[in-house]
A = this chain, B = another copy of it.
Amino acid sequence: METESYIDLSDMTFEDEGAAEAQMLVKVGEIYRYEDLGAITSHVYNGNIVLLDITSIANDDLTMKRVSAELRNVVRDVNGDVAGVSKNLIMITPTGVRIDRNKIRGGF
């Protein structure tokens, strides 16, 4: 039903709040070496999601191993989640955000 006989105050409030202060940010980033990781995980500790392009380190087994171990530590700390979501893309989520392992395909 399209017509509403009242003013939806909750909607208006959301518009205002959203522009000024989002509750959570999605940051998109790239990692070139293990040492970049601190700057990335700090966003997760701050309650934000990071979508991380690992193309630069994908063929470096040792770095990948260290990065994976550290990311698993961080999400265990904050009760977040980490998963590969696409080729060379890892998502790291903060407290309370889970990555669903079941892919939506077409109509689902």
Residues of A whose CB lies within 8 Å of any CB of B are 14-15, 17-18, 22-33, 35-36, 39-40, 43, 49-51, 53, 78-79, 81, 85-86, 89, 91, 93, 95-100, 103-108
**How many copies of this chain sit in the oligomeric assembly?**
2
Q: Is the CB of A30 within 8 A of B99?
A: no
Q: Is the CB of A106 within 8 A of B27?
A: no
**A79 contact from B14, B98, B100, Cβ within 8 A:** B14
Q: Is the CB of A24 within 8 A of B97?
A: yes
A1 to chain B, nearest CB (A): 15
A30, A93, A106 pick with most chain B CB within 10 angstroms = A106
A106 to chain B, nearest CB (A): 5
Chain B hits for A51, CB < 8 A: 51, 85-86, 91
CA distance A77 to B51 in the complex (A): 24
